[in-house]
């Protein structure tokens, strides 16, 4: 039962990130094949890194073909309904944020199942959630969204922290999943709406004169 | 016998990609060491990703030193004969395309040997073929060639698809290898010669006004 | 005893790279979370690649939480004392170079313990030392330092070569470690001080007219 809820979430996160990747690729005017690649990489990137680092190989999407078919199907829908989806303002942002919330949960869950230490489990949750977007941005030769001041990964870390704490307290999975996703998605929505930023500590570069 | 043909192809693909990497690095004015690194990464990148994702570790080139020596030797030749090689018009393109065709074969072959599903095997073939070039381009801070409209990866996918279908039909390996490489190399040559492009579906970005 | 010296070096290398990553991130005006991420990635990137390629999973920092806490603590110190650290001229360069020397040692050591061939062991040492910096630069969307003419990786390769040769000669570990780190750090300091560069072999690009 828990496993099945986990699988449902993993599928939902994959759908959300595939849509977000497809939209990003269409915005960048990639050809149809580029759209499929970016959708695929965005959707499976985080889980692939997670599986590789903990040594769960062949990685999940290789063992379970449903992911590849699902991403292909979702990408086709995203292409067909691209005008409609885009009409929803900030839809790329929205799907990306939903994916973040869900993949934080699946990453932490895998960490707990592998008996990793809490701090590592939290890091694994944040990496699973954010890495797909990082690869997407690197492939598009952009500065990864993770550094673009939207408290992107901080939201995942806080959600993952809540998961680990609630898990220690013996709370039921359904409730933990709900709280974690609300925290991640809520923080990101609030942060973007109110333009909140984290503080930064600037060191003037020695090359400043040369570089600027 | 099949294994030996596989090994010969793997060596040929490694040579082709090492030359392509070395030429790309010399074009970008990297120093001699940078030329070796890029040649190495381009030649082993795809196979390393493949091995890592399916859990075949230590990865192939670590178990079999022939690859490292071969890449070093080929790179030295590429440096010595750089004017001659370059005289052959489009030689970088040519070696890159040969490498694509061969590594599509080795990727699919490994997928079949590991009993992966057909769709995954096809994806593995395309990833093995294209990833070396993607890393090469990321290291050089360029937009990966995979997105530069040359139907780069689509050719590999179609070749890998042919491989899987012929394999299911019980065709002999020698013939499958020949057909697959002809498809990949042929498609890419035709596409570039006639400037064919895949369709694309453009979504105007919300940031368009700001960004452009 | 050898193991313990190895662990001490690994911790020192992690500290050096975490500081170097934190300084680089503060120079680039990343927010406080970005500083932690870059510090983390720079410090564990090389070891993570090494562990993944040889199949040692879960990777080291997942098994041993000391690394995560250490990087967090060092990064906080780097933020607090950022003006003081920066006052030491070229401190980013210095910490980066110390990290290079130490991680070359740990990479070669792991290669020897896994009975890899000497040439592979040398490559593993250089990759362990340089990959953290490469990821750091890719994430910051810069051309990786490895190609910025400072004989960055060549120093690691020569140090790793010395390690393997001395190991074959039966020299004691303490002395090998000392010689290796002196070679890597010494070469890099001398090279930068005297502006030495490796030769390069330039091929005019066919696209030169178009591209430039």
Chain segment A193-208, per-residue pLDDT in tens:
888 877 777 766 554 4
Q: Which two three-digit tokens encode residue A199?
A: 């503080």
Q: CA angle at residue A56 from A71 to A2, to 5 degrees?
A: 70
Q: CA angle at residue B165 from B163 to B169, to 5 degrees?
A: 110
- Checking if the pLDDT of A191 tops 90, the result is no
Model confidence over A16-41: pLDDT tens digits? 999 989 988 888 877 788 889 899 99
Model confidence over C71-103: pLDDT tens digits? 999 999 999 988 777 665 467 788 888 999 999
Region A117-145 average pLDDT: 85
Residue of chain B minimizing CA distance to A40: B123
Residue C154: C-alpha distances to residues B183, C118, C120, C129, C158 (Å): 40, 16, 15, 11, 6
Subunits with 3+ C-beta pairs closer than 8 A to A: B, C
Length of chain A equals: 212
Q: Could you tell me if A142 lies within 8 Å of chain C, comparing CB atoms? A: yes
Model confidence over C106-118: pLDDT tens digits? 999 999 999 999 9
Q: Which residue, among C49, C144, C147, C152, would best test binding to B if mutated, counting the most B CBs under 10 Å from its CB? A: C147
**pLDDT recorded at residue C153:** 83
**pLDDT recorded at residue B25:** 85
CA Rg value for chain A: 18
- Checking if the pLDDT of C142 tops 80, the result is no
Contact (CB<8Å) A32/B198: yes
**pLDDT recorded at residue A43:** 95
Q: Which two three-digit tokens encode residue A23?
A: 């939209």
For helices A32-54 and A118-139, angle between their N-to-C axes, nearest 10 degrees: 160
Residue A117: half-sphere exposure toward Cβ, Cα within 13 Å? 14
Contact (CB<8Å) A52/C55: no
Measure in Å the smallest separation between the Cα of C110 and chain A Cα atoms: 17
Q: Which residue, among A53, A139, A142, A145, would best test binding to B if mutated, counting the most B CBs under 10 Å from its CB? A: A139
Average per-residue pLDDT for chain A: 85
Q: Which of A124, A143, A149 minimises the CB distance to C141?
A: A143
**pLDDT recorded at residue A148:** 62
Residues of chain C positioned with their CB less than 8 A from the CB of B86: 203-204
Residues of chain B positioned with their CB less than 8 A from the CB of A68: 119-120, 123
Residue of chain A minimizing CA distance to B149: A31
**pLDDT recorded at residue B1:** 40
Measure in Å the smallest separation between the Cα of B42 and chain C Cα atoms: 15
Contact (CB<8Å) C34/A144: no
Model confidence over C178-206: pLDDT tens digits? 999 999 999 988 988 888 877 777 766 55
C154: nearest Cα among C87, C206, C200: C200
**pLDDT recorded at residue C59:** 94
Model confidence over C11-26: pLDDT tens digits? 889 999 999 899 888 8
**pLDDT recorded at residue C212:** 36
Region C30-35 average pLDDT: 82
Q: Which of C53, C199, C206 minimises the CB distance to B57?
A: C53
Report CA torsion sign: A64, A68, A74, A76. Answer: negative
Q: Which of A54, A114, A153 minimises the CB distance to C33?
A: A153
Cβ atoms of B64 and B152 within 8 Å: the answer is no
**pLDDT recorded at residue B67:** 93
- Checking if the pLDDT of A146 tops 70, the result is no
* Structure-token match 């592979």, residue found: C120
Distance (Å, whole) CA A47 – CA A58? 12
Contact (CB<8Å) C205/B79: no
Contact (CB<8Å) C120/B62: yes
Q: Which two three-digit tokens encode residue C29?
A: 């005006």
Residues 14-53, chain A, touching C (beta carbon < 8 A): 52-53
Q: Could you tell me if A116 lies within 8 Å of chain C, comparing CB atoms? A: yes
Measure in Å the smallest separation between the Cα of B57 and chain C Cα atoms: 5
pLDDT band at A54; cut points 50, 70, 90? very high
Distance (Å, whole) CA C25 – CA C22? 5
Distance (Å, whole) CA A54 – CA A125? 12
Model confidence over A161-178: pLDDT tens digits? 999 999 999 999 999 999
**pLDDT recorded at residue C55:** 93
Contact (CB<8Å) C205/B27: yes
What are the extents of the domains in chain A?
Answer: 2-195
Q: Which two three-digit tokens encode residue A142?
A: 């952009």
Q: Could you tell me if B149 lies within 8 Å of chain A, comparing CB atoms? A: yes
The alpha carbon of A31 is separated from its chain's Cα centroid by a whole number of angstroms, namely: 24
Residue C166: C-alpha distances to residues A106, C117, C159, C179 (Å): 47, 15, 11, 9
Contact (CB<8Å) C53/B48: yes
Beta strands (DSSP E) in chain B are none
Q: Could you tell me if A134 lies within 8 Å of chain C, comparing CB atoms? A: yes
Residue of chain C minimizing CA distance to B55: C55
pLDDT band at A137; cut points 50, 70, 90? confident
Distance (Å, whole) CA B144 – CA A118? 37
Contact (CB<8Å) C53/B55: no
| Omega before residue B14 within 30° of 0, cis | no
**pLDDT recorded at residue B91:** 73
**pLDDT recorded at residue A95:** 84
Predicted-complex ipTM score? 0.82
Measure in Å the smallest separation between the Cα of C195 and chain B Cα atoms: 14
Residue B84: C-alpha distances to residues B88, B89, B104, B182 (Å): 7, 10, 28, 26
Q: Is B55 helix (H, G, I), strand (E, B) or coil?
A: coil
Q: Could you tell me if A205 lies within 8 Å of chain B, comparing CB atoms? A: no
Q: Which two three-digit tokens encode residue A141?
A: 């030769």
Q: Which two three-digit tokens encode residue A38?
A: 């970016």
Residue A94: C-alpha distances to residues A86, A139, A153, A189, B165 (Å): 11, 21, 15, 9, 40
Tens-of-pLDDT digits for all 212 residues of chain B? Answer: 445 788 888 888 999 999 989 988 888 878 788 889 899 999 999 999 999 999 998 999 998 899 999 999 999 999 998 877 766 546 778 888 889 999 999 999 999 999 999 999 999 999 999 999 888 887 776 767 666 665 778 899 999 999 999 999 999 999 999 999 999 999 988 988 888 877 777 766 554 433 33
Measure in Å the smallest separation between the Cα of A118 and chain B Cα atoms: 25
C-beta atoms surrounding B184 within 10 Å: 31
Contact (CB<8Å) A31/B149: yes
Q: Which residue, among B96, B139, B150, B192, would best test binding to C if mutated, counting the most C CBs under 10 Å from its CB? A: B139
By CB neighbour count within 10 A (0-12 exposed, 13-18 middle, 19+ buried), where does B173 fall?
middle
Q: Which of A124, A134, A200 minimises the CB distance to C29?
A: A200
* Structure-token match 């995942």, residue found: A156
**pLDDT recorded at residue B147:** 66
Q: Which two three-digit tokens encode residue A173?
A: 């999975």
Q: Which two three-digit tokens encode residue B191?
A: 């596409």
**pLDDT recorded at residue A145:** 64
Region A137-164 average pLDDT: 79
Q: Which of B119, B199, B206 minimises the CB distance to A68?
A: B119
């Amino acid at each position: 039962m828990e496993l099945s809820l986990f699988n449902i979430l993993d599928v939902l996160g994959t759908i959300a990130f595939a849509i977000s990747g497809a939209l990003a690729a269409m915005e960048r005017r990639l050809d149809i094949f580029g759209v499929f690649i970016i959708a695929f990489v965005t959707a499976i990137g985080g889980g692939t890194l997670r599986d590789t680092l903990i040594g769960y190989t062949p990685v999940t999407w290789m063992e379970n073909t449903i992911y590849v078919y699902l991403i292909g199907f979702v990408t086709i829908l995203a292409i067909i309904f691209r005008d409609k989806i885009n009409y929803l303002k900030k839809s790329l942002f929205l799907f990306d944020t939903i994916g973040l919330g869900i993949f934080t949960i699946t990453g932490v869950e895998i960490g707990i199942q592998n008996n990793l230490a809490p701090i590592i489990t939290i890091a694994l949750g944040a990496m699973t959630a954010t890495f797909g977007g990082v690869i997407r941005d690197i492939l598009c030769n952009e500065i990864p969204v993770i550094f673009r001041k939207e408290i992107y990964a901080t939201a995942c870390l806080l959600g993952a922290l809540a998961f680990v704490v609630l898990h220690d307290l013996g709370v039921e999975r359904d409730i933990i999943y709900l709280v974690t996703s609300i925290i991640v998605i809520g923080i990101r929505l609030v942060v973007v709406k109110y333009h909140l930023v984290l503080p930064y500590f600037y060191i003037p570069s020695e090359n400043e004169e040369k570089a600027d």
